Amino acid sequence: MNNKKIFILLPDGIGLRNFAFSNFHKIGKENFDITFWNNTPFNLTEFDFSEVKITNAKVHLASDVLKNAIIQSTLLLNKKNDNDNVYDSYRFKPNTKGIKNKLKNFLVDGLIKVCTNRKGISFLRNYLNKLEQTTAYYKTCREQLILQKPDFVFCTNQRHLSALAPLLAAKELNIPTATFIFSWDNLPKATMVVETDFYFVWSDFMKNELLKYYPNIKNEQVKITGTPQFETHFDEENYVTRDAFFAKYNLDTNKKYICYSGDDITTCPDDERYLEAVVNAVSNLNSKGNNLGIILRKSPVDFSNRYHEVLEKFKDIIVPIDPKWAKIGDGWNTVLPLKEDNAVLVNTIRHSEIVINLGSSMVFDFTVFEKPCLYINYDVTNKKQKDWSVDKIYKYVHFRSMYSKNDVIWINNQSEIEQKIQLALENNSSIAGAKKWFERINIQPADKASYRIWNEINKILKNE
């Protein structure tokens, strides 16, 4: 029996689904003493988890400025090194409202001018770390570590400022640390805020990205494990029958359903327009003898009412099944998953025929169940944002991981939606390509990620 004590650091709610609401904890507790170092509003003791609450996690006043300067400088350096303008698309326009934001922007711009090089970025990181070590938050984290005496600290998210102080305190106390790269598109976006002893990634592909963008990281520091994100799809305890699922959400058992997976407003500002186009195509198919419906699963971070008009107009075709997430605050990172959403998502996939969306990772969720994905690939007329385009979305670096354009079915204009839906329903030929793409993105088998993570932690501790 290995009684090593592991702290699972939750700097925000992003890691809840992967590490609290999956089988990750159940698998790990067979060999380890696990405590969640919890900076979320959730009381994890309700799930019989051991936790140490982080309270008053206030970062240094200047830390946000330095973080933004690091991100902007890194993106500009990547643009220069790769001779690729795509990195500009990750540089969102700053908030210019109020004197405080204007001052922040002025400071960030000044730091970018002198720090857009490896030495400059390293200087910014070191300075950010030093500032965080002066905070009351850092001292509290250090005291908690001294009291709890963990053997390892595993951070569930590499991009949050609140993770810095706990990890820096662990480093001072010679406690080994690791961070998990939580999403498939994160590394090109320069979202790495923390520095740890080890980095856990989804695949060889992601490892190569990490080593490219962060050449200071050594090969042996990177552990390929996959992500627990897809493990719940394989857990039959989450499954309900078609009849039970249809009864719960008032679906028509005589219909076959298409899942329309919504995007957040930033990614797709005109998403309701695309949904309406899909509804019209389905209506035409139904007039020709089909019997189809649409399940709308909104983006978990979209609490707007922008779909309301379409939903009211087409009640006979669309049924909304909202994600089970809780809105704790105003920011996107204060929208947190609930455990119940695992079953909602899995059964939405199981009882839908296909998925339609704009560039979402839902392609992989549906691939697990060998169901095809259709990517929307055209601009609507009279766009809300003139500078937005699907062309910009699909130029993002993470889409370069596709093996070929045949990994999904492309809807290249509104007039072909009907035809492409019919193709997907009759022929799932895109699945073979989607599987290869998924295998490149996430090491297989996809249901063993938690085992691989715990195995790597065990090996690290044995070598310490």
Cβ atoms of residues 395 and 89 within 8 Å: yes
Identify residue 216 by its one-letter amino acid code. Answer: N
Q: How far is CA 368 from CA 54, 209, 337, 453, in A?
A: 36, 24, 21, 20
pTM: 0.95
Domain residue ranges of the chain, discontinuous segments joined by +: 5-59+135-227+446-463, 63-122, 232-441
Pairing of strands 222-224, 335-337: unpaired
pLDDT in tens, 392-447: 999 999 999 999 888 999 999 999 999 999 999 998 888 999 999 999 999 999 99
CATH number, domain 232-441: 3.40.50.2000
CATH-assigned architecture of domain 5-59+135-227+446-463: 3-Layer(aba) Sandwich (3.40)
**Distance (Å, whole) CA 246 – CA 248:** 6
What is the pLDDT tens value at each position of the chain, 464 positions in all? 458 999 999 998 889 999 999 999 999 999 999 999 999 888 899 989 999 999 889 999 999 999 999 999 999 999 999 999 999 999 988 888 899 899 999 999 999 999 999 999 999 999 999 999 999 999 999 999 999 999 999 999 999 999 999 999 999 999 999 999 999 999 999 999 999 999 999 999 999 999 999 999 999 999 999 999 999 999 999 999 999 999 999 999 999 999 999 999 999 999 999 999 999 999 999 999 999 999 999 999 898 999 999 999 999 999 999 999 887 765 555 678 889 999 999 999 999 999 999 999 999 999 999 999 999 999 999 999 998 999 999 999 999 999 988 899 999 999 999 999 999 999 888 899 999 999 999 999 999 999 999 999 999 999 86
Angle (CA) 402 407 410, round 5°: 110
The CA distance from 243 to 237, in Å, is 16
Q: Do 5-59+135-227+446-463 and 232-441 fold alike per CATH?
A: yes
Tokens of 53: 């609450």
Can the peptide bond before residue 11 be classed as cis, meaning omega within 30 degrees of 0? no
3-class state of residue 162 by DSSP: helix
Strand partners, 152: 6
